[in-house]
Chains A and B, each alone.
Chain A
C-alpha cells in the first residue's frame, strides 16, 4: 500500500490512495478539513456528491488544499480512467490521461465557477479538451491557441448550470436502453454517426433520429433547456 504524505496548513496528513481500498479511509486531519462541514466524513464510502465536489474544488482553488485534492483524486481519477477506456483508449493511455486531467484540475481549479457548471461537468470538459489536443498532436498538429475570451452561456440558463449534471444523471436514467445507448455512443464512439450505425447494425438515418428523440426525451425529463 502506498501512502502520499502531504502537507497542509502545518498539519501533516496521510492520504491513503490504495487502489484496493474500497472505503474512503484517508486519515484526514488538520484545520482546513475540520472547517469543511460539507466534506464526506472520514470512512464514509465514496462517491462524493456534487456539492462536496464543488466545495473541495473551491478549497483547492483558494487554499491549495492537498487533502481536498486527494479526495477529488480518489473520486475522479478512477472514473476518468474508466471513461477513456470505454472510449477506446488502452489502459496505459487512459491512466495517463486521468493523471494529466487531475494535474490540470489542480492548476485550473481557480477557473472553476460553480454558477457555470457542475464540478463533474467541468472535469469532463478538461479531460475532453486534453484528449482532443493529444489526438491532434498525434496527427502532426501544433497546439491550438487558447480561446481569447470566456464564453458564458446565456443568462437565462445560468441558474440551471450548477445542478445540471446531477439532474442530467436522473434524466439519463429515465431513457430507454436504446436511447441511452445512442447518447453514450455519441460520447464514446470515435466516428459517432457512422460508428454508431455500424456498432448497432442500424441504418444511419435510424441512428440520427434516435439521437434526436433521445435528446428530446432528455429535454422533457429535465423540464427545461436545451
Chain B
C-alpha cells in the first residue's frame, strides 16, 4: 500500500537539524525507513545544514588544533561499545508484521491494559532513558475515547490502520498531532498497531492522560 501521510516539513527540518528529541527522532526514523519520498526531502533539509555550515564565518581554531588531530589520525578508533541484548517481552504480534529496524536496540515491555480494547507496551531507548515511546495496540473496529495530545506526538502505523477526522491511516503512514488536535480514532477491521512518541509537559485528561499517568510522566 502506498504511503498517504508523510512527515511534516517542520518535523523533518528539526530531524535534519538534529533537534528532535530521541523519542520523536526514533519514530521519525521508523517512518523514513519505509518512505523514500521523505528520505529525499530529508536529504534536502540536511543540505540546508550543509549550506549553513558553509556560510559560517570561520572561527579561529586553537594553534595546536591541526597537530592534535594529525597526531590522532593513526589512532585506532575506540572499539564499538558492547551493547547488552535488548529485553523483549513476548508481544504476540501478527505473523506478517515486523518491527521497524530502528527498534533493534530498544527494550520492549509486555502489553499493558490501557482501556477497553487498547493496550500499550513501553519502549525504552538505552541511549535516551527519558524518552517517551510506546507501542499501541487497538483491537479491531475499536474506537479510542476522544483525546487531545501532548505538545508533540508522532505515531507511525506498523500494522492495520485507523480512521479519524483527519483521515485514514494505514501501514507506513505517520500521524502528527500537537495539543491543538482532539480526535477519536477508530481502528480498522484488522485492528491497529502503531509506534508512538510523545514530548511535552502537558497533563491531559482522557486516554493520553492515562498513558501519561501510567508512564509516570
Contacts and interface: CB of A to CB of B under 8 A. Distances in A.
Given A82-B59, A147-B102, A186-B14, 7 more contacts: A4-B70, A124-B49, A165-B54, A168-B44, A172-B51, A187-B48, A208-B10
A225 B44 contact: yes
B40 A117 contact: no
A103 B51 contact: no
Interface of A: 2, 4, 6, 15, 17-20, 46-47, 66, 69-70, 73-74, 76-83, 85-86, 91, 94-95, 98-99, 102-103, 106-107, 116-118, 120-125, 127-129, 131-133, 136, 139-149, 151-157, 160-161, 164-166, 168-169, 172, 183-184, 186-187, 189-190, 192, 208, 211-212, 215-216, 218, 222, 225-226
Interface of B is mostly: helix
A109 to B, nearest CB: 11
A220 to B, nearest CB: 13
B32 interface: yes
Interface residues of B, number: 62
Contact of B46 (A74, A125, A148, A186): A125
Interface centre among A74, A151, A155 (most CB of B within 10 A): A151
Contact of A79 (B54, B69, B126, B127): B54
Interface of A is mostly: helix
Interface in B19-36: 19, 22, 29, 32-33, 36
A212 B32 contact: no
B77 interface: yes
